Chain A
């Protein structure tokens, strides 16, 4: 089975622009989460979606938004990009049970100049 896939793998944007990142979960996984990983730090939780509804939101500004589609794929949108948004954005899928671990994609490396 295919793992979690993310696109694009790399992206360079200018301050003030908008970006959309995409994620396809493992087949059968209905929960998708987004994490931001800044160099030298652990992943920071941004959003969790389950059954197309937001189930959790981390401490990120309203410039960050996401959605989940009927096929459980997901998009993360970031508006008005800042230099500090430069990071690796990780998508993870999981079964909707408490002891199910996260399955991560390889991430999208976003550079804001």
Chain B
């Protein structure tokens, strides 16, 4: 079984400040990990993914995440927040032995960006 815990249901930062959204996972097998973003009244869009290889992965809109196996973490960061980053962010895990169709999601973190 797999699970995802996102620490902090709400995060507020000032425009230009560092964004850090936390994600810890539990998995009995080496997982595939994903970050998605959801804007109001829309579906989820992929920000970035980790499958194998380099543990620091870069995504769209300046976001990146680092897979740390020893800490079972996959935290999302962005050096400088922009007003357009305000949205809800979801971390997800899937089993490489199946496919991402059956992913397990965290409960999300709402990011607010203050001017």
| Residues of A contacting B32 in the complex (Cβ-Cβ under 8 angstroms) | 98-99
Q: Is B42 an interface residue (CB 8 A)?
A: yes
Q: Is A73 an interface residue (CB 8 A)?
A: no
Flag if B49 contacts A102 (CB, 8 Å). no
Instruction: For residue B43, give the distance in angstroms from its CB to the closest CB of chain A.
Output: 3
Interface size grouping (class) on chain A:
20 to 34
Q: How many residues of B contact A (CB 8 A)?
A: 30
Mark contacts of A86-98 with chain B using CB atoms, 8 A cut-off: 1 yes-contact digit, 0 otherwise: 0000101010111
Flag if B43 contacts A106 (CB, 8 Å). yes
Mark contacts of B95-106 with chain A using CB atoms, 8 A cut-off: 1 yes-contact digit, 0 otherwise: 011111111111
Q: Is B17 an interface residue (CB 8 A)?
A: no
| Residues of A contacting B92 in the complex (Cβ-Cβ under 8 angstroms) | 42
| Residues of B contacting A104 in the complex (Cβ-Cβ under 8 angstroms) | 36, 43-45
Q: Is B46 an interface residue (CB 8 A)?
A: yes
Flag if B49 contacts A101 (CB, 8 Å). yes
The 9 closest A-B pairs by CB, nearest first: A104-B43, A42-B105, A99-B51, A48-B101, A33-B101, A56-B102, A104-B44, A101-B46, A106-B43
